[in-house]
């Protein structure tokens, strides 16, 4: 029986990281390739590139009546400011996901289910940090399966420029494999840095 409950996802970072694109891809995966309902709203700070940016995605097996994410089930942070600003809005039983090299967490916030990945570093190793959002989506697909992985992969390939499809597919796969290896316990996550 399909899961009909709504999942509220908040993807946060700064302009230029592909935060809105990540939300678009997740919503597209749900609606076009996974027979689910989804809504997506975006928010930019006044500066746009370099300023605070977020993408709110709701995925459900049923019609969604209210399209805003107020208390996310899953919070993805790709900048320190995004983490600091949004971590208190996460549901008590929620999942906190962050980019290891860009976000320093606090021990007080470790009551959540937590996962982290050096998404930007992995993207740079693959040829460009602009793909960190795709690495992160692959990782999220492994640790919090919101949509079928094939649906998310199709949405990634449907959303990126044709010349970058292979590179973005490698980025998605890198993030997903890292997430799966953490879930299976075959690798331990790097220790979160500078926890206070």
Tens of pLDDT, residue by residue over 94-114, are 999 999 999 999 887 778 999
Q: What's the total number of domains in the chain?
A: 1
CA gap 150, 94 in Å, rounded: 25
Residue 196 lies in a domain: no
Token pair belonging to 74: 């899953």
Alpha carbon dihedral 72, 73, 77, 83, in 10-degree steps, equals 60
Residue 76 lies in a domain: yes
**Helix/strand/coil percent split, the chain, to 5:** 45, 20, 35
Q: How large a percentage of the chain has pLDDT more than 90?
A: 76
Residue 175 lies in a domain: yes
Tens of pLDDT, residue by residue over 168-196, are 999 999 999 999 999 988 666 654 444 44
Q: Let me know: does 29 contact 21? Beta carbons within 8 Å.
A: no
Phi and psi (nearest 5°) for 179?
-65, -45
Instruction: Residue 20: give its domain's CATH number.
Output: 3.40.920.10
The model's pTM is 0.90
Residue 2 lies in a domain: no
Residue 194 lies in a domain: no
Residue 29 lies in a domain: yes
Token pair belonging to 139: 């990782």
Residue 50: pLDDT band (50, 70, 90) is low
- Which domain range does residue 145 map to? 7-184
């Amino acid at each position: 029986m399909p899961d009909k409950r709504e999942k509220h996802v908040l993807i946060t970072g700064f302009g230029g990281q592909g935060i809105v694109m990540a939300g678009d891809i997740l919503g597209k995966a749900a609606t076009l390739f996974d027979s689910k309902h989804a809504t997506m709203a975006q928010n930019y700070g006044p500066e746009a590139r370099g300023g605070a940016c977020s993408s709110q995605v709701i995925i459900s097996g049923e019609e969604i009546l209210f399209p805003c994410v107020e208390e996310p089930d899953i919070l993805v942070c790709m900048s320190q400011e995004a983490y600091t600003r949004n971590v208190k809005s996460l549901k008590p039983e929620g999942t906190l996901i962050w980019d290891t090299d860009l976000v320093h967490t606090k021990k007080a916030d470790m009551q959540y289910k937590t996962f982290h990945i050096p998404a930007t570093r992995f993207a740079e190793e693959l040829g460009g940090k602009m793909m960190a959002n795709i690495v992160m989506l692959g990782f999220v697909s492994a640790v919090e399966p919101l949509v079928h992985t094939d649906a998310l992969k199709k949405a990634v390939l449907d959303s990126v420029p044709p010349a970058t499809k292979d590179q973005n597919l490698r980025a998605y796969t890198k993030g997903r494999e890292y997430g799966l290896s953490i879930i299976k316990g075959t690798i331990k996550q790097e220790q979160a840095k500078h926890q206070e």
